[in-house]
Every structure is written in C-alpha cells, then in structure tokens.
Amino acid sequence: MSTVGRKLSVAGVRRPPTGRRPGAIVAAADPGAEGAKITRPAEVAPESSSGDLRAPDLVGLSPAPAVAGLIDHAVRMGASDLFFSCCENHVAVSVRHLGIVRLITVLTIEHGRRCTSYVKAMAGMDLAEQRRPLDGRWVREDDTFVFGDDAGAGSDAAAAPAVDHDDDDTGIDPDEPEVEWPELRRPGPVRTGAGRVDLRVSTIPTLHGEDMAIRLLLGTPEVTSLDQLGMSPRELGAFRAMLGIAGGLIVVCGPTGSGKTTTLYAGLRYLNTGERKIHTIEDPVEYAIPGLRQSQVNLKAEVGFPELLRSVLRQAPDVILIGEIRDAITAEIAIRAANSGHLVLASLHAPSAPGAVQSLLGLGVNPYFLSGALQGIVAQRLVRTLCPSCKGSFELDEMPRTFEEVSDSLEPGEGRALFGATGCPACLGTGYSGRTGVFEVMKMNRDLRGLIAASRPTAELREAAARTGLLDLRRAALLLVARGCTTAEEVLRAIPPEDLGLDG
Ligand SMILES: [Zn+2]
C-alpha cells in the first residue's frame, strides 16, 4: 500500500473521526504531529458546532402546521428525504442531509400518527389502509407560512396556510379519543417559504406502526452543467470527447445515490442544443426538462426498459438515455442501438469503470459488439465538501510527500495543507456544506477495445487503463483531499476501502 493510502486508512479506520480537530487526520497518521500548528478561521468558535439540525418546536401544533414546519425545515436545510419512523414509544422524524440520515425531532405516538395520516390524506392515499405499503404524491404549492404570535398580523404575513385544506379532521382515527389540539402556540414567529415542493410519499407497515418516507423534489431544479460536476479538467475533457461522438455507448456507474443521474443529465444538458432528438427512458421521470422527450417505465402496464427502448428506437432519436441497464435484453438493444449510430447514455450498477465491462459481459452481451459500441465509462461516488466558512487547515511542512501520488494533477499551492471539518451555523454544525462527485473516467482506446473483445479480466483492463493515465477513484479522492474540497475521513466514510484499493 502506498504511503498516502496508508495514511488514508490509518486516519479513517484506526482512529474515530474527531470532527472538530482539523489536524486529526495527520495526527492520527503521525503522532509526532500532535502539537503542530492548526489554523482555524478566527470567527468560528470551536464550540459553535452544535449547529441546528433540530426541527422547530412542534409541541401543541395540529398536523397541518406541524407537517408544514417539518417539510419547510427539511427543504431549507437542503434535505432530500423526510422520514417518520415508528418506535415503541415515539415517532422519530429524521431527514437525509448530504446523504446522511439525521434525527431532527421526536413526536409522541399520537402526534406522529396524526402527522403521517395528514400527509397520506394530502397525497391521496387510503387512510384506512395501514397494513399494506402505499405510494402517493403531494405537490405542495406553499409560498409563506407563518408560525407564532404574529401569525396573520404582519402585512406580508398573510399567512397563507401551508395547504388550502382544512385540517381539523384530516387523518384522525374516529376510534381514537378526541384530543384537543390547540391552535398555533409557539414561542416566537418562524416564517418559512419552501415554495413548490413535489413530495413522493410511501408508507410501509413496521413492527411498531406505519413508517413513512417522503422524497422531496423541489420545483424546477437547474440541471447541473458538466463543469459543475466536480471533474478535474482532464476527466472533464475526456467526458466531453465521449459526448461529442455521434454514435456509441457511454456508461455511468456506481451504487445507488452516487450521483449517476446528475452526471447523465449534465451530459444531456450539454447535448440538448435543439439540434438533436433526445429521448429518455426513466424509472420514474423525476423532473421534466424542456427539449427532452421523456418516457417513464410502467411495470404495472408491462412497459419496462426493453419495451420502451424498442419503441423509442422507432422514434428516430439521435440520443437515448436509459435510466438503468438492469437486464440482458436492455443491454443487448442498447449496444445494438449504439452500434447503429445512436448515442446511448446509460447508468449501470458497477463498482468501477473496468468493473462495469465485467458487469455488462455478465449480462450476456457479445464482447465483440460491446467493444465496438463502448465509448467510455464514468464510475463515480459522492463525498461531502467542506464548509468554506469554517474549514480548518493543517500545514504539511513536515510531510511534503503526503500527496506525492497525485502531484502531477495538483496546481501550484495545492497539496501543502490538510483541511478538516469544524462546524458552524452556516453548515448546521456538520462542517460540510455540499457534495461533489469523485470520478474515474475511462475513455476507450484500441488496447482497451482489444481486451474487451477478448473478454479479458477486470485487472487487465485496469492495468491498461492505468497506462493511459486513468485517475482511479482512490487517486481522484486523494486529489479532492489535497485541494481542500473534502477530508480523508469523509472519503473513507463514503467509499468502501475495497473500492479505494485499500483492502490489500
Ligand atoms: Zn461551517
């Protein structure tokens, strides 16, 4: 294992992340560095990191304002999901924030049940059904909701209720004893304005009651552009070159939640100039994007990826996006389409770029046709990025070789310090304020095509790709650490050691 690989593993595995000590990564790797100089932004007090992930106080609120408060809180903190989990004596309410589940409040069983019933009612779900999993959708067009003593008093605080419906009876089990829910009673005003939120609601019966998961999709999101993905210039150039080819297959791979869809849409945005006919096949269509023809898989109507793909090909598209290649037939049609002059973009569950070739061959595709169709593979993961307001730095004067492995890719001034998460109000005390992709971009060349056509093992593909300068996931992650975008701890949290090549 390389020096830096060892440092990464030592920092993250043998010592628990400290969160508040920027020097901890190096200190863990080198005890001699304990007393070294740590620089922290002056305005951030070390103890200010409690942050505020907690939801506003909901005690005494009826379901409509309570749910509005929770949704608005989740939206404002940038959460992707809101969860109600039934426990023995309470209902835990949590969010997924930057990919991590965090508890935001705890409700009594009764209060929690009223809130979930209210959401079910708004999402058009069967209130009486609690023993079967259900799905629903609620588009919430809220502008402003004002809690507290001045609710309705302010001029612009017309306090349009979070929803138009009268909530008094919604979702209340008729068999339950009548409980009086006081009207808005809060210590102070809280004004929220989450705007249009599309909520995809699903419930499932669990040991202690009905759990609810709510996916939060915001109004009309800006599709990420290629240069916002977080690729380094060389990788970005390779990805652009793949997209510039008239026909072929481009695969984006990684586990669920690794940002594959964002990358694919950034690719489509780049291609969506109005001069190409672009069709997408998605499961489900999450956002409508002008200029694209978007179709959705409907398994109930027996319209899956293969059926839709065959039909889309009759629509004379130039570019086709396949939400996911999961079966042999889809893989085969995709490769045939790519070999007949269409540009096909697809996502795939595979750990690495060389591993994706093996996954496709595992689906039974013809290696010769695959080698001809494939233009390139992007493997990716997501890591949280350090909060610019509070990140601390640790000078690496005594360890100049820390980032030697990626020194070729560093700009002058980069790689001289390690940065660490601190926590401030701006980042809700987490030390991280966003996420970025870690990319492995493997563009095809003659060597790689030959190896694929001969069904050679992944290790040989990896070696051949390395000879062309492939920045693998581990070095791509190391580069982000060297640039101060993220921490070694975060890399080890987000990417399993075997995917970083650290298990040897
Ligand atoms: Zn911060």
- Cα-to-centroid distance, 449 and ligand 1 (Å): 46
* Cα–ligand 1 centroid distance for 417 (angstroms): 18
Does 226-386+424-473 match 63-218 at the fold level? Answer: no
Specify the pTM: 0.77
268 CA → ligand 1 middle, Å: 33
In the chain, the N- to C-terminal Cα span, in Å, equals: 7
Nearest to 247 by CA among 164, 327, 161, 339: 339
At position 499, the amino acid (one-letter code) is D
- CA 73 to ligand 1 centroid distance, Å: 18
Identify the architecture of domain 226-386+424-473 in CATH: 3-Layer(aba) Sandwich (3.40)
Span from the CA of 21 to the centroid of ligand 1 (angstroms)? 13
* Location of structure tokens 């690496």: 396
Domain segments of the chain: what residues?
63-218, 226-386+424-473
* E strands, 329-431, in order: 343-348, 374-386, 392-395, 417-420
Q: What is the C-alpha to C-alpha distance for residues 473 and 496, in angstroms, rounded to an integer?
A: 11
Assign domain 63-218 to its CATH architecture: 2-Layer Sandwich (3.30)
Interval between CA 392 and ligand 1 midpoint (Å): 10
Q: What is the pLDDT along the chain (504 residues), one digit of tens a residue?
A: 444 444 443 333 333 333 433 333 233 334 334 334 556 555 444 433 344 678 878 888 899 999 999 999 999 888 999 999 999 999 999 999 999 999 999 999 999 999 999 999 999 999 999 999 999 999 988 654 444 333 333 333 333 333 333 333 333 344 444 333 333 333 333 334 457 888 999 999 999 999 999 999 886 667 889 999 999 899 999 999 999 999 999 999 999 989 999 999 999 999 999 999 999 999 988 778 899 999 999 988 999 999 999 999 999 999 999 999 999 999 999 999 999 999 999 999 999 999 999 999 999 999 999 999 999 999 999 999 999 999 998 888 777 777 888 888 888 888 888 899 999 999 999 999 999 999 999 999 999 999 999 999 999 999 999 999 899 999 999 999 999 999 999 999 999 888 888 775
The two structure tokens encoding residue 237: 């150039």
Q: Which two tokens stand for residue 488?
A: 């070694």
Task: Report how far ligand 1's centroid is from the alpha carbon of 310 (Å).
Answer: 49
SS3 of 442-493: EECCHHHHHHHHCCCCHHHHHHHHHHCCCCCHHHHHHHHHHCCCCCHHHHHH
